[in-house]
Amino acid sequence: MNKFVYILLLFSLSTNAQINKYLKFSTFYVAANGGTSISDVDVYSIQNGLQTNTVKTPFDYNLSLGIRKIARFGYENKAQTFYDGTETSWSDAATLGKVSGLEFLFEFNKKRQEGDDYLDQHYFIRYVDNSWLTKIEYLQDGFADIKYYEASQRYRHKYNNNLSFNIGAVQRIAEPYGYDPLEEWVLDNGDIHYTYLAIQEGYNIDVFNNEYKDPNGNIVATSSDVWKEVIIPTVLRDYVEKKRNELSAKWNHSLILGFDYYYYTKIYWLHAWANILPYHYNMNNEYSYHEYIDGQWTDYSGGMIFGYKYNKNLGLFAEGKYNKYWNREWYDFKVGINYILL
């Protein structure tokens, strides 16, 4: 028993030491940001005399919670004292970090923008060696409506100190993107059976009395124009969201190829990376993306961060990243000139 307790104690101390080693130099942060949203809008009606209704938009906010251990690249701004959750560190999307070994990011953002609520999450653990790398990632971008799990294992070839290439396999888990629940309701002329769909979803239509009721029996429209222009879009949106949520996530197994390039001096720097997924194993699933595009497709992602200080006064910069997975695209970019008056 004493030997068992001794071994358990050594294991506990060793485990704690390993955890402390991995967490060393990491940053934990919690932050709240907010501000005024778009201005209120006055909506006028003349159905029962002139009436004015003010549509108010609540304030914008961003609640952030995270922990990160990612070495800064030479070009990244070190002047900011604290992480506040509003940073746009696009180099986080790069395949390789500045240093080899273990790096990680766990970031959760709940935000409201112009009255709409979004949930953004980005978690990854990355390990880079001289000849191989692996990464496990979960990404949810509420604004771009994309959410997936991804794991990749790659062989890495260092061409020189700045450039490296990689090839390997990637596994992704995501909802069946490409699936269109409204396709079965589309007529030969391109119109849609929206009335029958609404009735199926529980709406009630009384054309003689111009009464259109929702599934709870509330009157939501008193004219065909309001029904078609206001209510039907909501019916279609809710139906699509319901049908998408009914389907389970699907596996995707793909080949992946990529490169990373990093060069930095105090005057000039260039950081670029790209990944391409040219082949995807067909699992013959009814909701596989192969079924929607009738064969293979190409997914890709990449980014670039460029800066040049022409002299003491003038500087140029261009930064951006782009992603295209399935039928989803999301990207960010910025370009500009800085001129300092001396």
User: Highest-confidence range of 38-47, 115-124, 300-309, by mean pLDDT?
Assistant: 300-309
Q: What pLDDT shows up at residue 17? A: 61
- pLDDT range class, residue 52, cuts 50, 70, 90: confident
pLDDT score at 86: 64
Which amino acid does the sequence have at 36?
Answer: T
Is the pLDDT at 47 greater than 90, yes or no? no
Domain ranges of the chain: 25-178+248-339, 183-246
Cα 13 to Cα 3, 17, 20, 58: the distances in Å are 15, 6, 10, 50
Residue 103, Cα to own-chain centre: how many angstroms?
Answer: 20
pTM of the shown model: 0.81
Confidence band of 320 (pLDDT split at 50, 70, 90): very high
What's the rounded mean pLDDT across residues 7-20? Answer: 57
Average pLDDT score, the chain? 86
Q: How much is the average pLDDT of 159-183?
A: 92
Q: Which CATH architecture has domain 25-178+248-339?
A: Beta Barrel (2.40)
Question: Model confidence at 58, in pLDDT bands (50, 70, 90)?
Answer: confident
pLDDT at residue 7 in the model: 53
**pLDDT for the residue 291:** 86
Q: Report the alpha-carbon distance of residue 74 to residue 92 in Å, rounded.
A: 14
CB-CB contact of 122 with 135 (8 Å): no
Q: Which residues contact 179 (CB under 8 A, 6 or more apart)?
A: 243, 244, 247, 287, 292
Distance CA 134, CA 168 (A): 10
Classified as helix, coil or strand, 200 is helix
Q: In this predicted structure, what is the pLDDT of residue 296? A: 92
Q: What is the pLDDT of residue 324?
A: 95
Quick: pLDDT tens for 219-255: 888 888 888 888 888 889 899 888 888 888 899 999 9
- CA dihedral sign, ordered 74, 76, 79, 82: negative
DSSP E strands in the chain: the ranges are 27-35, 41-45, 51-55, 60-69, 101-113, 116-128, 132-141, 146-158, 163-174, 204-206, 211-213, 219-221, 250-264, 268-280, 299-309, 314-325, 328-339
